[in-house]
Structure 1
């Protein structure tokens, strides 16, 4: 090539280089109009910079075609100084677009997500990135559902960002797999800070969800690594895996009231994650459902959750399960995890009439479990024949079965307050490496000498989940996150109350207008829910007659929930009488709940097939069951908490409070509160009855008005027992903490006492009513303080 032509070629290259340099422009924009113009004209390599300040009520559309070498960049002038608020959102679509430095703060959206990786169903994002951004307290006034971020397309990345303070319905970050262009997406979610999310009060409060049950048999191949989850308490599933072939690695979970849940989908890899519960209630670890998963090299410390929230829980499944239920666990490898001062591992958990299939071909091997309080290390809920146990070491005073665990004393040291086994632990070396055992430990160190647990002996490094840097380059100052407090006005009609309950948040008040509310389906209550009639005596709840399936009950309280009912009439009369007004969580559902009734009437619950106004199921536990200023009338049974008959000293409630309440015309018992076993004397359960009336209750031979078997703290004051002349006795009081005082018994036999129970100022006189239907005493009645000299007996005035 001659020098002349070489100069020409070099000149062409130089011109092309200059053209490329000119094409890669940096454009500063100060408002949405300039922004839209810049985006519409963007070329590969262009940089669009949003001027610092507040951008209010904007719909940002980041659409373009960049390349791998020359992505289109959309960024803040200064990271964290561009504030997106008001009714605003961001949509990303196209190829190789990077959005960075934006802070979505204290706003809301009317779209499906604050940030979406698609413009519409036909224009989606591939190879795009969101980085160095924040979304905080971006919640609507009403509890409408939307996501903070939704990922569509393939090969997108969300990293070094902050997502905090979501209180409305909808997952914080969701990955969709709705068609071929979204499958095997290989998205990467890394180095993000997922901050506090208060309990939502119902399903849909996950922090991350990958897939749905419909597409759970499809492969997603999403990578979730090096993220920090702090107080992500939206619901039991912090992360909900609902697709195949996903990886969860090097993540830190701190004081999160839930679990990394392999809910649907197969072949997940869960490794090198750290769970620190700090002994907070309900904090959990890893829950396993479905097939082919690997759970290795995880560290779980100070987790207080049990059952579904156990440090490691393996669930029972359903034969021929539909996609949206519980497919059986099989072919799962759980190895080399370290569990320190947690509640028991739960194997086969959830077994019931539906979930009858035990896990099969589950390797549970070379795990290290230690605790300092001698508590159980394992709870089994069914057959363990499908588990293969090898080399699991327990350091605890707890009793263990040698078929599953070997006991040993373990020497520990700390690295930055994190407990790690020392080099001098020969017991941990006496285990066998299996063909599917991990080759490295939780810190990434090669396992030259194979040992049980997550760490190599004498490890000197911290897990990546502890030492990583996460979140944006700036530090967003985010106000304290508080649970939502919503209120809704509900109109009478068919199904209107259930529809309103579907819109509730963690704390919601439902105000019911006067009228009749026809119930066509059972209503489940989750969260802190108050249902208040706007006028006493004018808000009626009844079962609808023309429904295909008759409801068994009006309300079911979910675990960790509180239900308040006020100024309501629940009337069970009709052709098909429901069994219950209110029931506890289902059998064996862990987690305290409470029920508070005020100024309510429960009428005509006459179903004799085991029916009662309130029922507590076996192995459920209420902190408080309270009935105040209410009437329970013309029913088969009142409150039934009698199913804890296993002899372990358990009860269905800590406190039952009956105050200024009337039980009238109840065929069997008014209250049945039961305990059996040595623990009954020490469980501190109480039944408190004050200013109440029991009239015409349990008139059958050998009946009992208030049954208190095994309950040693029953306190009855200022109460009337009348017109139950055939009963065996009204109540039996046992123990020094039980007493009855300033009360009247008329045609109701005598109270039974034992073990130091006391009585004071009992009267066996006719009450003398002015209005017996309302239990209003006459002026000469001995129920009045001015006539007995002690205090009013029976209902208080104006009830």
Structure 2
């Protein structure tokens, strides 16, 4: 009887499969109305084919009940030729749904996510997949308006072989959401995706991948993140933020990515076989360890320069009896067979302070390889590390006690293997990463029909345009130029009657240094807009034709609403007569504008009633700031009523690296003494994370004023000459006690070292 029933059941199943496949249809859709009418009728095995072309303001809801063998599929007629633009998005609800071949660009989502594995709260997708799809610079124009690009809900979903690049507004690029029981213990798979350039965001909210949130961090997720390529994903200090338990992250590559894979919350995660290539770029990081039962095994980390929470490898201190959203103590961390090659910083018990006083316990670090070619040892111990047992490790360095007890010291010759990694020439060495690890190729991720283009167009990388010295010639050349081009202006003088908008990467230079003189009749000469970066060289710029009004500027950004980061550089130029009225600045940032870098070298600035660099528009103390790298070298500043730099970063957030300031070999004469300079400073630095002020000359100028806030800021003011100028003033605004700045080697005129 049972055997007959089994045969009957099998017959019924086969019949159902046959019936489903027999009824499955392929629907060719050429407009939104047709899709809307069809969408509620989809059955297992059905395929919807979207016609090639641009679909504007198309909110797709793919909903239905497919089966493992007969999913419901939505795909492009030709992969890459269906463009979703304007305010478009994709939602999925049901089970066994597959989407492929789409491109999201030239717009932004009208909802909380571009791609969302749910319809509404409680209506999730299960066993569903998004593959072979692109999201390219699909950003809300309000940089502080938060959204996800991908939000995974439900269970057993897959996000794979996708190309994700250019998220610029606030919000996690890909988020695994554990907000209900139906999305916990989800077993999602995120694999073979290409995560391209994510520019520095300049505040918290720039993670590329987050698994969970603090509120659900003691819940297990079981997500698998494997074989993904993260290239220059620089949004903030946490590239990946793991905030749940029992996840596996393996075989991923991080290439020149600023930040770390951070085990921020949650227990029992496995980090294995990942490869980090920093190539010596500043703030490239590796792995940060917090919480219980984490396994960090067989990872390769090379050329990482990051420091503190963004270092090459960090084991944190925790908060005793920590609340769920703070720092849980590191317990039972197993750090095994990892290679740290030319890693500048390995920080243990990091973040130790009055609150974070719970040191790592019951943990081990064994069979690891630490090699630095330059001979500098990378370890910094911020508290008691006796709770980490060091054994059977190997290094070519003399390491500090108690770390050294668990490391054998050996002179090591290293050679790069066929997989691109460095290993000891002595093949009997077993410390460090395994010799058979496979390094993921960038070409094996993403889609094969969408180019992985360079993130940033370099200055001077395009064509040369030689023009006469006239306003019409300059405007025409800018209009015709492509990003990377150089416009070279002949000797002569002219007045610009119009504001010059820069929305591409351009270099504007004098054919003969100092022989091209430009005046301007508008409130600014140049305005940087989205997509714009500007390099000036060898020019003579004067404000003597500017309007008789306060608040003029030579260069400014768009006053508000910029979404794209910019770069600004100026070399070998003379800037003068910015004094037709008060508060005439050289460079002014708008709110929300963010510079990846500002570089000024070998210039002369004189007779200015405002500031030279006014980078202080974000005063709400929300952790937002206006520039990452600011570098001033061998410039001369004289008769400047405001400050040469006003650089401000307020708030208590610790998820960013900057601002980072270098001021070297400049001359300051009569700077900062104007009555409208409320900061009463030649350099006013609030919340700057790293300041190096060295070998400068200050004469009859206002002092340097530094205000330290969060993030263990590092300030160095060394080997400067101060004549008729007060000594630097440094305040600690967040901690008690003396300031932490290094101030030495400076020379003061008599009676002026107060």
TM-score, normalised to structure 1's length? Answer: 0.63
Q: Which secondary structure state, in structure 2, belongs to the residue aligned with residue 287 of structure 1?
A: strand
Displacement of 1:318: 1.4
1:593 pairs with one of 629, 638, 660:
660
CA spacing shift, 1:731–1:105, aligned 2, 3 Å? same
Q: Does the CA-based 8 Å contact 1:536-1:599 persist in structure 2?
A: no
Displacement of 1:21: 3.9
Q: Which secondary structure state, in structure 1, belongs to the residue aligned with residue 293 of structure 2?
A: coil
2:716 pairs with one of 618, 632, 652:
652
1:196-239 CA-partner distances (Å, limit 9, x unpaired): 11001111100000111111111111110110100000111000
Displacement of 1:642: 11
Q: Distance in 2 between matches of 1:223 and 1:145?
A: 25
1:343-399 CA-partner distances (Å, limit 9, x unpaired): 131101111232222111120111001111001131111111111110110024777
Q: Distance in 1 between matches of 2:87 and 2:140?
A: 9
Q: Distance in 1 between matches of 2:85 and 2:624?
A: 39
Q: Distance in 2 between matches of 1:553 and 1:627?
A: 32
Displacement of 1:10: 14
In structure 2, the residue matched to 1:756 is none
Q: Distance in 2 between matches of 1:101 and 1:555?
A: 38
CA spacing shift, 1:584–1:371, aligned 2, 3 Å? farther
Q: Does the CA-based 8 Å contact 1:553-1:581 persist in structure 2?
A: no
1:481-534 CA-partner distances (Å, limit 9, x unpaired): 5899679xxxxxxxxxxxx9999986699xxxxxxxxxxxxxx9995499xxxx
1:218-272 CA-partner distances (Å, limit 9, x unpaired): 1111110110100000111000001111110110100000000011111110000
Q: Does the CA-based 8 Å contact 2:347-2:382 persist in structure 1?
A: yes
Q: Distance in 1 between matches of 2:190 and 2:204?
A: 23
Instruction: Spell out the pairing of 1:246-395 with structure 2 (5 A cutoff).
Output: 246-395=247-396
In structure 2, the residue matched to 1:416 is 418
In structure 2, the residue matched to 1:475 is 450
Displacement of 1:670: 5.5
Q: Distance in 2 between matches of 1:45 and 1:121?
A: 26
Displacement of 1:558: 9.9
Q: Distance in 2 between matches of 1:561 and 1:281?
A: 11
Displacement of 1:599: 9.6
In structure 1, the residue matched to 2:746 is 711
Q: Distance in 2 between matches of 1:377 and 1:183?
A: 39
1:139-181 CA-partner distances (Å, limit 9, x unpaired): 1222222111111111110001110111111111011111111
Instruction: Spell out the pairing of 1:544-693 with structure 2 (5 A cutoff).
Output: 560=628, 593-594=660-661, 620-622=690-692, 639=704, 652-653=716-717, 669=726, 671-672=728-729
Q: Distance in 2 between matches of 1:711 and 1:10?
A: 88
Displacement of 1:478: 5.3
In structure 1, the residue matched to 2:214 is 213
CA spacing shift, 1:587–1:383, aligned 2, 3 Å? farther
Displacement of 1:553: 9.3
Q: Which secondary structure state, in structure 1, belongs to the residue aligned with residue 171 of structure 2?
A: coil
1:618-672 CA-partner distances (Å, limit 9, x unpaired): 995346999999997xxxxx645699xxxxxx9524798999xx99xxxxx5535
In structure 2, the residue matched to 1:131 is 131
Q: Distance in 2 between matches of 1:250 and 1:337?
A: 13
Deviates more, 1:580-589 or 1:135-144: 580-589
In structure 1, the residue matched to 2:28 is 28
Q: Does the CA-based 8 Å contact 1:592-1:622 persist in structure 2?
A: no
Please provide the CA RMSD for this pair: 5.0
Q: Does the CA-based 8 Å contact 1:245-1:268 persist in structure 2?
A: yes
Displacement of 1:69: 1.9
In structure 1, the residue matched to 2:584 is none
CA spacing shift, 1:503–1:601, aligned 2, 3 Å? farther
Displacement of 1:40: 1.8
Asked whether 1:105 is paired with 2:140, we answer no
Q: Does the CA-based 8 Å contact 1:289-1:326 persist in structure 2?
A: yes
Deviates more, 1:591-600 or 1:238-247: 591-600
1:589-641 CA-partner distances (Å, limit 9, x unpaired): 976624999898678999xxxx9996789995346999999997xxxxx6456
Asked whether 1:43 is paired with 2:113, we answer no
Q: Does the CA-based 8 Å contact 1:557-1:583 persist in structure 2?
A: yes
In structure 2, the residue matched to 1:407 is 409
In structure 2, the residue matched to 1:74 is 74
Q: Distance in 1 between matches of 2:154 and 2:13?
A: 36
CA spacing shift, 1:267–1:71, aligned 2, 3 Å? same
Q: Distance in 1 between matches of 2:106 and 2:652?
A: 38
Q: Which secondary structure state, in structure 2, belongs to the residue aligned with residue 83 of structure 1?
A: strand
Displacement of 1:473: 3.9
CA spacing shift, 1:582–1:238, aligned 2, 3 Å? closer
Q: Distance in 2 between matches of 1:604 and 1:481?
A: 37
CA spacing shift, 1:600–1:317, aligned 2, 3 Å? farther
Q: Does the CA-based 8 Å contact 1:627-1:658 persist in structure 2?
A: yes
Instruction: Spell out the pairing of 1:166-181 with structure 2 (5 A cutoff).
Output: 166-181=167-182
* Alignment gaps of 5+ in structure 1: 1-8, 429-450, 488-499, 510-523, 538-550, 571-579, 633-637, 644-649, 664-668, 675-684, 686-706, 717-727, 733-799
Q: Which secondary structure state, in structure 2, belongs to the residue aligned with residue 37 of structure 1?
A: helix
Q: Does the CA-based 8 Å contact 2:291-2:329 persist in structure 1?
A: yes
Q: Distance in 1 between matches of 2:50 and 2:707?
A: 66
Q: Which secondary structure state, in structure 1, belongs to the residue aligned with residue 200 of structure 2?
A: coil
Q: Number of aligned pairs?
A: 582
Q: Distance in 2 between matches of 1:280 and 1:349?
A: 22
Q: Which secondary structure state, in structure 2, belongs to the residue aligned with residue 730 of structure 1?
A: coil
CA spacing shift, 1:90–1:655, aligned 2, 3 Å? farther
CA spacing shift, 1:26–1:630, aligned 2, 3 Å? farther
Q: Does the CA-based 8 Å contact 1:136-1:478 persist in structure 2?
A: no
Displacement of 1:462: 4.6
Q: Does the CA-based 8 Å contact 2:222-2:246 persist in structure 1?
A: yes
Q: Does the CA-based 8 Å contact 2:141-2:563 persist in structure 1?
A: no
Q: Distance in 1 between matches of 2:620 and 2:147?
A: 33
Q: Distance in 2 between matches of 1:622 and 1:308?
A: 20
Instruction: Spell out the pairing of 1:166-245 with structure 2 (5 A cutoff).
Output: 166-245=167-246
Q: Does the CA-based 8 Å contact 1:315-1:329 persist in structure 2?
A: yes
Q: Distance in 1 between matches of 2:592 and 2:278?
A: 27
Q: Which secondary structure state, in structure 1, belongs to the residue aligned with residue 182 of structure 2?
A: helix
CA spacing shift, 1:557–1:63, aligned 2, 3 Å? closer
CA spacing shift, 1:462–1:289, aligned 2, 3 Å? closer
CA spacing shift, 1:43–1:75, aligned 2, 3 Å? same
Q: Distance in 1 between matches of 2:157 and 2:381?
A: 41
In structure 2, the residue matched to 1:795 is none
In structure 2, the residue matched to 1:465 is 440
Displacement of 1:403: 1.5
Displacement of 1:311: 1.6
Asked whether 1:730 is paired with 2:730, we answer no
Q: Which secondary structure state, in structure 2, belongs to the residue aligned with residue 346 of structure 1?
A: strand
Q: Distance in 2 between matches of 1:624 and 1:556?
A: 27
